[in-house]
Amino acid sequence: MNTQATAANTPRAPIASPLSALSPSTLDDSGKLLIRVAVGFLVLLHGIFKISAGVGFIAGMLAKAGLPGGIAYLVYVGEIVAPLLMIAGLYTRAAAGVVVINMLVAFGLVHMADFFALTKQGGWALELQGLYLFGALTVVLLGAGRFSLGGTKGRWN
């Protein structure tokens, strides 16, 4: 009998993945943790920059749009307070909603000229802003999960 043919016909056990040992609930909550920390951290970096650079650019854009320049300081809420709450997992859905609003305002004030533009590589010119917007919207829809300071209880988490 040919041993190669026998070995080829022998059923093999599936290869175990380290993730297969985790429950679907744990994987779900881990995914929620990952998306909220990633989006929160990346948006927070923009807020930290604005602390040192100021909000003059935003105030100017608001004034051009006929809005009071003083509301530019709300960017600190959208790019510092809300991301920190997202990362911590406190009032997560509301905080992510603030980031969504922040990104929509950024699209309207700064990025409308590039809304339908593509880069030289064929990507959307606003893909970074789009990822922030849709990442935050995903957090609004999914919530914080159990790996958060707020836990799974509460309407805003």
Task: Select from 131, 123, 88, 89 the least CA-distant residue to 106.
Answer: 131
Q: Provide the pLDDT confidence category of residue 11 given band limits of 50, 70 and 90.
A: confident
Tens digit of each residue's pLDDT (9 = 90 or more) over 42-60:
999 999 999 999 999 999 9
Asked if residue 10 has pLDDT above 80, the reply is no
| 117 token code pair | 């533009």
| 3-state class (DSSP) for residue 148 | coil
- Answer yes or no: are the C-beta atoms of 143 and 92 closer than 8 Å: yes
* 74-125 residue pLDDT tens: 999 999 999 999 999 999 999 999 999 999 999 999 888 899 999 999 999 9
- Report how far residue 72's alpha carbon sits from residue 94's, in angstroms, rounded to the nearest whole number: 20
pTM of the model: 0.84
